[in-house]
Structure 1
């Protein structure tokens, strides 16, 4: 009864909207927010494993080879869990958004098909890589990581291209209310696809690099300052450092395109009520009763960041019909969280490399190690905030200026039950992942190396 009562309250809160809209939004947010972390590992982790494995072969470095073995087993566990969450997402697209998939399925079918093929290729080569230890020539074994990494990249591009298409629809014509003249290649390679993919691709390396390096920083805080932990910290931190420096440049270019294509989203990002030129940058703040409160205003910086100009105007919400405003405060705070965290992470990486250049070993500094442990969760939070900003900022449109979210959503109020089921499934997978990974780490510390893993070969029976 309590669940039914809660459902009624939430449905009343969205009076005038389809009964399936709110649960569809909630379920998709949870599913995507959970899966994006695992997807990031699928994109970035193979490249990091390749680096340490190659180092082990070229330098005959047993520490590096040991890292490659361990990281591959962790990757297999995360991939197995991601397969479940990805399968859930594939069903959710049709279940939650029949107005989108029923009308534009022909337009979006190509990238989804390629994403499925990429998933299978990645799984196949992950299995070959796990099975290949001590069974294949070392360099041939190393090369099996390349198609695995490429499959992760292609799969990510395909998924991000669908989201980019929602922001910049292309590849079809609407005649008399019907979708015709479908060109799936043009839809897949729409004008926003490349930049959005680069933004997500670099974000994956930033998040995974800092999460993995943070694990080894935590180990060093516990006194395990050895070659294994130093190398385990350094390799992913190098990837994260490059990503942290490059990401603001990509974000800047992407922000300038948003000005041309989605001015309402940019106005919400900047918390701009009216068109201003030069426009200030507002740090923090919220819009209450038509008034911006508690914001720190920096003159002209908004024009510089959003328009790459000293005095170019930034569009305001007054240029947008009130019915087409996105949720302004949520969009603004999510965007500023992403940018603020990204700036902080870039500063951490710059400090580390400057100190190293000056001859200071920050891996012996407990304060730096503590900061490194925190950077991983912060990077994940930045990814989540970025997706909230881009998705919520596009509202009330699912497909920009073509299909509203209300028209895309299911009409079924029974979606609350599937939402509850998804919460239970994802909670179980989260607990399972934590238990399995902690168990693996504990056994590795105890000296065990030949641990079983998903997609890996069976353990050899002990010789009597």
Structure 2
């Protein structure tokens, strides 16, 4: 493994690991605040138990996310020094604001965890809500920085120099809204279905049924609504990419030849050498419609771009197909569940629906990782689109492969430790609220 591939692999591993905890940090505090609100309004101790259980999980995952996020900050400077030298002064504002949001989140979480019976109940609830708001702000700001890499703005690039820097324009670049919207909704989908799936499993095992049923409902409703909204944000993103990064769209669809009434490709195996797709289902005109709003406008094919500027087609295409396929599955599950909540109450407790949620537990995060693969690999060979190539930004320091192996071992270790701690928290659920309460349900069989 050469140093360039090692650096890219290490960054991909770090981002892929950290993004899971970032999403949990954005979404779980919102779920916690909803449960806490229900407890304050009803006095039901089960909601208090759910709130405490989720808050303990958030504390564990927040600490892990802080570690992986700190590692990422160092990696940006160590692995990509030329990138940070020029890009840092331009898009440093969203990163610095993200740091502020992170500190607010940490302080609010501290108040929340140790504020039971010490703070005014509603102020205590507000500190928990503030954890979620700060987490969402952090996510939007980081995505804004990434969007700048896809749509650089806020500077003039003249004779190899970055002049007339405008940090505000850089932060609110053309891509930030579509990427942030898509990311936030994806975070709710992935985290919501993961949490709902865990509680669905506990219901199927007949453990603390009332506890897990109420927790499941909060997560499932949020995830279902988000899954139904996600195609709207996806359409906004697709139209945005059509205008800004047409070669990325072409790679996503393995669309090699420019033609009128461009077909939408479902599945298929790209044959890059011969510039065609095997075994694909093609819907004539539909790619034109999704990209331009009508069925006849041509969509640029990869053959219109220099070969050295084309993204890796196979990885981008397969990742896009995985993301869309899983997104459709979760959207269907969300529709079924919401129909059950509104019209078909008997569906809600159906064991097959609960099993479907259990199966869906990892699907949102798989789709999320696939989506980020599309975003990052689809931008290649550029680290700053049309300004700086990734190969020109990598560190000249040798031995990056050994660093990649070390970081891989660290992330595997962290994953095992976090899995153990979360498993222990799930086992502790019966101890989190008063067993003498009439609502306390524990099936000991």
TM-score interval for Structure 1 and Structure 2 normalised by the shorter chain: over 0.9
Mapping 1:26-41, distance limit 5 Å: 26-41=9-24
Verify: 1:124 aligned to 2:110, yes or no: no
Q: Distance in 1 between matches of 2:339 and 2:93?
A: 46
Counterpart of 2:185 (choices 188, 197, 202) is: 202
- CA drift at 1:212: 0.6
Q: CA deviation at 1:363?
A: 4.1
Q: Does the CA-based 8 Å contact 1:217-1:370 persist in structure 2?
A: yes
For residue 260 of structure 1, what is the aligned residue in structure 2? 243
CA contact (8 A) 2:53 2:432 kept: no
**Equivalence for 2:440:** none
Cα distance in 2 for residues equivalent to 1:245 and 1:441: 29
1:164 and 2:151 correspond: no
Please give the per-residue CA displacement for 1:180-202, whole angstroms capped at 9, x wherever unaligned.
Answer: 11111111111111111111011
Say whether 1:153 aligns with 2:120: no
1:29-85 CA deviation, whole Å, 9 max, x = no partner?
000001000000111111111111001111111111110111011000000111110
Alpha-carbon distance in structure 2 between the residues aligned to 1:368 and 1:238: 14
Separation in 2, partners of 1:384, 1:86: 17
Equivalent positions of 1:367-378 (< 5 A) are 367-378=352-363
Q: Secondary structure at the match of 2:361?
A: helix
Q: Secondary structure at the match of 1:376?
A: coil
Find the residue that maps to 2:383 and give its secondary structure: strand
Counterpart for residue 404 of structure 2: 419
User: What 5-or-longer segments of structure 1 have no aligned partner?
Assistant: 1-9, 12-19, 451-464
Name the CA distance, whole Å, in 2 between partners of 1:359 and 1:238.
Answer: 15
SS across alignment from 2:12: helix
2:302 is the counterpart of 1:317 = yes
**Cα distance in 2 for residues equivalent to 1:302 and 1:293:** 18
TM-score normalised according to structure 1 size: 0.91
Unaligned regions of 5+ residues in structure 2, if any?
435-445
Give the whole-Å Cα distance in 1 for the aligned partners of 2:132 and 2:338.
Answer: 27
CA distance in 2, matches of 1:403, 1:341: 33
Aligned equivalents of 1:49 and 1:166: distance in 2? 34
Aligned to 1:278: 261
Map 1:87-98 → 2, pairs under 5 A: 87-98=70-81
Choose the corresponding residue for 1:429, options 405, 414, 422. 414
- Provide the rounded CA distance (Å) in 1 between the counterparts of 2:293 and 2:223: 26
Q: CA deviation at 1:146?
A: 2.9
Query: Which range moves more in the overlay, 344-353 or 220-229?
Result: 220-229
Q: Could you report, residue by residue, the CA deviation over 1:231-279 in whole angstroms, capped at 9, with x for unpaired residues?
A: 1100011111111111110110110111111110011111111112211
Alpha-carbon separation, structure 1, partners of 2:346 and 2:362: 24
2:319 matches 1:334: yes
Q: How far apart, CA to CA, are the structure 2 residues paired with 1:90 and 1:161?
A: 16
2:360 aligned counterpart, secondary structure: helix
1:272-298 superposed Cα distances (whole Å, 9 cap, x missing partner) = 111122111111112223131111112
Alignment partner of 1:213 out of 189, 193, 196:
196
CA distance in 2, matches of 1:235, 1:439: 22
What's the offset of the Cα at 1:226? 2.1
* Partner residue in 1 for 2:337: 352
Q: Secondary structure at the match of 1:227?
A: helix
Given that residues 21 and 411 in structure 1 are in contact (C-alpha distance below 8 angstroms), is that contact kept between their aligned partners in structure 2? no
The answer to whether the 8 A contact 2:189-2:227 is kept is: yes
Question: Partners in 2 of 1:153 and 1:448 — Cα distance?
Answer: 27
2:286 equivalent in structure 1? 301
Distance 1:228 1:449 in 2: 10
Secondary structure of 1:390's counterpart equals helix
Q: 1:357 to 1:158 in 2, by over 3 A?
A: closer
Show the counterpart of 1:64.
47
- Partners of 2:320 and 2:90 in 1: how far apart? 29
Equivalent residue for 1:457? none
Match runs of 1:35-50 below 5 Å: 35-50=18-33
Cα distance change, pair 442–169 in 1 and its aligned pair in 2 (3 A)? same
Instruction: Tell me which residue corresponds to 1:409.
Output: 394
d(CA) in 2 for partners of 1:363, 1:202: 23
Q: Distance in 1 between matches of 2:261 and 2:131?
A: 48
* 3-state SS, counterpart of residue 428 of structure 2: helix
TM-score (ref. length: structure 2): 0.94
C-alpha distance in 1, partners of 2:355/2:61?
25
- Aligned residue for 1:132, secondary structure, equals coil
Aligned to 1:268, what secondary structure does the other structure show? Answer: helix
- Number of residue pairs aligned between Structure 1 and Structure 2: 432
Secondary structure of 1:286's aligned partner: strand
1:241 aligns with 2:224: yes
Are positions 1:379 and 2:364 aligned together?
yes
Q: Distance in 1 between matches of 2:73 and 2:399?
A: 19
CA shift digits 1:136-180 (9 cap, x unpaired): 121111111232222112211111011100110001112321111
Instruction: Identify which of 64, 68, 72 aligns with 1:81.
Output: 64
| Range with greater deviation from structure 2 (140-149 or 89-98) | 140-149
